[in-house]
Amino acid sequence: MLQKKKITFSLLLLVLMGACTYPAKEHINLEEQAWIHGSEDCEQNSDPLIQVVKYDEDTWILRQNKCTNYEAPFMFLFFGKNKALLMDTGATREEDKFPLYQTVKSLIDARQKEYATDLQLVVAHTHAHGDHHAADAQFQGKPATSVIGLQVEDIKSFFAIENWPENNAVYDLGDRALEIIPIPGHQKSSIAVYDPQSGILLTGDTFYPGRLYVEDWSVFKESIRKLYDFTKKHEISYILGNHIEMSLEPGKDYPIGTLYQPEEQKLPLYPEDLEELHKALERLGDQPTREIHDKFIIYPIK
């Protein structure tokens, strides 16, 4: 009987951790997706305050207009059967300048109408820097909405993560189980999110086409090793961070505060790009070192 229980539990874990095969869903090619990228004259900018892109029927990608904040962060909305998960709330608090709640609510309302279901919205964050949680206040106190705190203890408690940052956790949206992966180093509460259904791996500001600001060198190295090992064992379609700071010219970044990026790098990165970062960090050893690569820059800040 004990052996049978162990087998049953193992099968349950396989299902939750994404070993099951999700139905194939039609999705866009992110290599070809054009993003709003600011203007030479923001007074003449006519782009939406928030660009909303449907990746597939269950996944949406949003980008903040650079003319409202030069950081122009990306946000990600995942729909399951019972819940929706919004990762990050952007860089602007004021709803008239950045109507994130109303934008997300419209997507949820349409989803609930189409599927005749009620959804709980969970708002979480890739990390605790201000350009990723500025609009939290728009969601706080709203019906059927939970906003997760920014501290490590908040994240550990909500997602039931044990032995932070070594262990991962599974969070089920209802027939859509996401893996929550602690990856401190850029910032203490940094997490990655893996979605087996789409193959998307969110890495926040830990890994993206830009300046990889490293707060804790040794911890960052370990987190990148952890992500690298993870990508070798899981099917990854895209690695998506929260910003684009690199241009299409290899190794060339846009200066901080840039409001117009007409030739910016593509959003998606791939496991081979992560492998490049991992090997560079191993080669650099224990000495924090700034180093330029084609699609990213290793950038210690301490």
Checking 254-259 for CB contacts under 8 A at 24+ apart, the result is: 256/70, 257/70, 258/38, 258/66, 258/70, 259/38, 259/39, 259/42, 259/66, 259/67, 259/70
> Residue 5: pLDDT above 50?
no
Mean pLDDT of 249-275: 98
Mean pLDDT of 61-72: 98
Please state the pTM of the whole predicted model: 0.93
> Residue 25: pLDDT above 90?
no
- Contact, 75 vs 100, CB < 8 A? yes
Residue 20's pLDDT is what? 52
Distance CA 194, CA 114 (A): 26
Mean pLDDT of 122-138: 98
Distance CA 16, CA 231 (A): 17
Burial 10-35 (b: 16+ CB within 10 A, else e): eeeeeebebeeeeeeeebeebeeeeb
For 198-224, the pLDDT digits (tens) are 999 999 999 999 999 999 999 999 999
User: DSSP class of residue 23?
Assistant: P
Residues 4, 5, 7: CA angle, nearest 5 degrees: 65
Phi-psi region of 15 (alpha: psi -120 to 50; beta: other; left: phi over 0): alpha
Structure tokens at 152: 């490590």
Q: Which stretch of 24-28, 101-105, 109-113, 279-283 has the lowest confidence by average pLDDT?
A: 24-28
> Residue 128: pLDDT above 60?
yes
Residue 21's pLDDT is what? 58
- Contact, 230 vs 247, CB < 8 A? no
Coil, helix or strand at residue 149? coil
The per-residue pLDDT of the chain, averaged, comes to 94
Distance CA 295, CA 227 (A): 18
Residue 1's pLDDT is what? 44
Residue 169's pLDDT is what? 98
H or E element at residue 138: helix 136-139
Structure tokens at 268: 């998606």
What the chain holds in terms of domains, given with CATH numbers, is: 35-300 (3.60.15.10)
Backbone angles phi, psi at 289, to 5 degrees: -140, 130
Mean pLDDT of 248-267: 98
The alpha carbons of the chain give a radius of gyration, in whole angstroms, of 19
Structure tokens at 36: 């709003």
Residue 120's pLDDT is what? 98
- Contact, 182 vs 161, CB < 8 A? yes
Backbone angles phi, psi at 106, to 5 degrees: -65, -35
Mean pLDDT of 140-148: 98
Which one-letter amino acid corresponds to residue 291? Answer: E
Residue 134's pLDDT is what? 98
- Contact, 247 vs 295, CB < 8 A? no
Distance CA 273, CA 276 (A): 5
Confidence bin at 12 (pLDDT 50/70/90): very low
Q: How far is CA 142 from CA 50, 87, 93, 173, 299, in A?
A: 20, 17, 16, 19, 38
Residue 297's pLDDT is what? 98
For 81-97, the pLDDT digits (tens) are 999 999 999 999 999 99
Structure tokens at 223: 């987190």
Mean pLDDT of 230-234: 98
